[in-house]
């Protein structure tokens, strides 16, 4: 910003704009300042700096000087007159306009000093995606592992004939219906006898192939489900004298006749 004219009038020494604000705040009594000296000093400052100051700044200073003259004239009048009140209102309006102008000038200076993208500062370029070292190593290891497994599989197929590969034999599955039919046949053929579950498991299990523990447990479960179903229908009875004895299967009709 350009330098403002400095005035030395009475007890005041400083720029014209500051003098106006001081008068509006009642910090300086304008009636104590010699008006003639104020105008002469202001005109001298304007003439000295007319060539090196912007025209708009000179115009603003002239408006300030006129405001001071108008305020002094109004202050010389009585405070209760209409001219005095009108002069004060006009001075306040001019002050608001000048304050708004200063705010706009500061805003313009901020925009002029800010950095321009592409001239003062430059944006960050786009980042090209590249896999990390860990991801690259993981992909390489996975690919090598798959290649090695495929190679081993092919080599094994060449060394071992197809017929020599062991395939587990599929054992026939025992159903609950088969176990129910077996127990019904036993009840009809030997109605006076008693049996335990071990007989059913051994009778319906294939003897030519050794059974695994899983197959034996499955056979026990099937026979237990079969005898429970027949007991529910009333065709047989389940007896066990002590908790350490085997579960006995007895024909229900024969047991009732004995009773």
The CATH number of whichever domain residue 188 belongs to comes to: 1.10.10.580
Contact present, 182 and 200 (Cβ < 8 Å): yes
**163-172, 221-230, 239-248, 249-258: lowest mean pLDDT where?**
163-172
Average pLDDT over residues 105-133: 74
Return the half-sphere exposure (C-beta side, CA atoms, 13 A cut-off) of residue 12.
25
Among 13-22, 180-189, 200-209, which stretch is predicted with the lowest mean pLDDT? Answer: 200-209
Judge whether 22 and 28 are in contact, CB under 8 Å: yes
- pTM of this structure: 0.32
| Domain annotation covers residue 165 | no
Q: Average pLDDT of 232-242?
A: 78
Provide, for the chain, the percentages of residues in helix, strand and coil under a 3-state DSSP scheme, each rounded to the nearest 5.
60, 10, 30
Structure confidence at residue 15 as a pLDDT band (50, 70, 90):
confident
Q: Domain ends where: 58, 90, 113? A: 113
Please compute the mean of the pLDDT values over residues 65-91 and round it to a whole number. Answer: 69
Total count of residues recorded for the chain: 259
Of 93, 113, 133, the one marking the end of a domain is 113
Domain that holds residue 46: 6-113
Task: Tell which of 73, 92, 113 closes a domain.
Answer: 113
Average pLDDT score over the chain:
72
pLDDT of residue 230 exceeding 80, the answer is: yes
Q: Determine, yes or no, domain membership for 109.
A: yes
Residues 109 and 11 in one domain: yes
Compute CA 42 distance to the chain's CA centroid, rounded to the nearest angstrom: 66
Number of structural domains the chain divides into: 2
In a domain, 137, yes or no: no
Q: In Å, how far are 84, 107, 113, 208 from 79, measured between CA atoms?
A: 6, 38, 47, 133
């Amino acid at each position: 910003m350009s330098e403002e004219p400095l005035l030395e009038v009475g007890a005041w020494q400083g720029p014209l704009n500051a003098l106006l604000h001081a008068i509006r705040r009642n910090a300086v009594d304008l009636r104590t300042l010699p008006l003639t000296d104020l105008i002469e000093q202001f005109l001298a400052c304007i003439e000295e700096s007319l060539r090196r100051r912007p025209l708009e700044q000179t115009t603003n200073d002239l408006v300030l000087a006129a405001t001071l003259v108008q305020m002094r004239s109004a202050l010389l009048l009585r405070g209760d007159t209409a001219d005095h009140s009108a002069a004060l209102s006009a001075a306040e309006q001019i002050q608001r306009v000048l304050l708004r102008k200063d705010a706009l000038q500061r805003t313009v200076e901020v925009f002029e000093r800010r950095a321009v993208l592409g001239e003062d500062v430059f944006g960050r370029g786009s980042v090209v995606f590249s896999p990390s070292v860990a991801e690259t190593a993981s992909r390489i290891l996975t690919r090598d592992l798959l290649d090695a497994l495929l190679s081993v599989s092919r080599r094994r197929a060449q060394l071992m004939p197809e017929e020599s590969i062991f395939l587990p034999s599929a054992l026939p599955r025992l159903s609950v219906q088969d176990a129910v039919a077996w127990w019904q046949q036993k009840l009809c053929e030997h109605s006076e006898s008693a049996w335990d579950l071990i007989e059913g498991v051994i009778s319906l299990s294939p003897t030519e192939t050794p059974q695994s523990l899983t197959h034996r447990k499955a056979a026990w479960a099937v026979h237990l489900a079969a005898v429970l179903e027949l007991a529910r229908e009333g065709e047989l009875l389940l007896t066990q004298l002590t908790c350490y004895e085997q579960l006995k299967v007895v024909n229900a009709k024969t047991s009732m006749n004995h009773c």
